[in-house]
Structure 1
Amino acid sequence: MLIVGHDEVRSLLDGREQDILDLIAQAYRLHDAGRSAVPHSVFLRFPEERANRIIGLPAYLGGSEPVAGIKWIASFPGNVARGVERASASMVLNSMADGSPQAFIEASLISAKRTGASAALAAGLLCAEPEPTGISLVGLGPINLEVLRFTAVRLPSLRTVAVYDLDAERARTFAERVIREVPGLTVTVADSAASALGAHSLVSLATTAGTPHMDLSACRPEATVLHVSLRDLTVAAVLEAQNVVDDTDHVCRERTSLHLAELDTGGREFIHAELGALLCGSAGFRRDPGSRVVFSPFGLGVLDLALAQWVCDRANAEQAGVRVEGFLPGSASPGGRRAGRPGHRSPDRPAMPAQPGGGLDALAGDAAPGASLP
Structure 2
Amino acid sequence: MTHLLSATPEPAAPRPASPPTFAVISGKQVRQALGGREKELVELVEATYRLHGAGDSVNPPSYFLRFADRPSSRIIALPASLGGTTQVDGLKWISSFPDNVRAGLPRASAVLILNDHDTGYPFACLESSVISATRTAASAALAADWLSRTRTRPRRVGFFGTGLIARYIHTFLAGTGWTFDTIGLHDLSADSTEGFRGYLRQAGATGQVTVHDSAEDLIRSSDLVVFATIAGRPHVTAPGWFEHNPLVLHVSLRDLAPEILLGAANFVDDVDHCLQADTSPHLVEQRTGNRDFLNGTLCDVMLGRAAPPHDQPVVFSPFGLGVLDLAVGKYVYDQVARAGELRLIDDFFHDLRRYG
- Taking structure 2 as the reference length, what is the TM-score of the superposition? 0.89
1:269 to 267, 276, 292: 292
Once the two structures are superposed, what CA deviation does each residue of 1:169-191 show, in whole Å capped at 9, x if it has no partner? Answer: 22112111122135334322112
CA contact (8 A) 2:184 2:209 kept: yes
- Larger gyration radius, structure 1 or structure 2: 2
Do the aligned partners of residues 130 and 240 (structure 1) sit closer, same or farther apart at CA in structure 2, a change above 3 Å counting? closer
Once the two structures are superposed, what CA deviation does each residue of 1:179-227 show, in whole Å capped at 9, x if it has no partner? Answer: 2135334322112211111112110011111111213422352201111
Q: 1:160 maps to which residue?
A: 182
Once the two structures are superposed, what CA deviation does each residue of 1:98-157 show, in whole Å capped at 9, x if it has no partner? Answer: 100100000001000110111111111112533111210001111111111112233524
CA contact (8 A) 1:179 1:187 kept: no
Do the aligned partners of residues 291 and 320 (structure 1) sit closer, same or farther apart at CA in structure 2, a change above 3 Å counting? same
CA contact (8 A) 1:213 1:234 kept: yes
2:97 to 72, 76, 92: 76
Q: Which runs of 5+ in 1 are unaligned?
A: 333-374
Bigger relative contact order (CA 8 A; separation at least 6):
1
Q: 2:61 maps to which residue?
A: 40
- Measured after TM superposition, the shift of residue 321 of structure 1 is 3.9
Q: Which amino acid aligns with 2:84?
A: G
SS at match of 1:174: helix
Aligned-partner Cα distance in 2 for 1:156–1:63: 30
Q: Which runs of 5+ in 2 are unaligned?
A: 1-21
* Identical positions, percent: 41
Q: 1:169 maps to which residue?
A: 191
Do the aligned partners of residues 219 and 155 (structure 1) sit closer, same or farther apart at CA in structure 2, a change above 3 Å counting? farther
CA contact (8 A) 1:70 1:301 kept: yes
1:194 aligns with 2:216: yes
Q: Quote the RMSD (CA, aligned, Å).
A: 1.6
1:118 aligns with 2:150: no
| Structure 1 consecutive aligned stretches of length 4 or more whose deviation exceeds 4 Å | none
Q: 1:228 maps to which residue?
A: 251
CA contact (8 A) 2:147 2:301 kept: no
Aligned-partner Cα distance in 2 for 1:207–1:217: 21
2:156 to 106, 113, 134: 134
How many residue pairs were aligned? 330
Q: 1:217 maps to which residue?
A: 240
1:94 to 85, 106, 115: 115
1:328 aligns with 2:349: yes
Q: 1:104 maps to which residue?
A: 125
Q: Which amino acid aligns with 1:125?
A: W
- Measured after TM superposition, the shift of residue 303 of structure 1 is 0.4
Alignment of 1:175-324 (within 5 A): 175-181=197-203, 183-215=205-237, 216-281=239-304, 283=305, 285-324=306-345
- Taking structure 1 as the reference length, what is the TM-score of the superposition? 0.85
SS at match of 1:50: coil
CA contact (8 A) 2:112 2:128 kept: yes
SS at match of 1:207: coil
Once the two structures are superposed, what CA deviation does each residue of 1:264-293 show, in whole Å capped at 9, x if it has no partner? Answer: 000111111101222233x2x232212101
SS at match of 2:72: strand
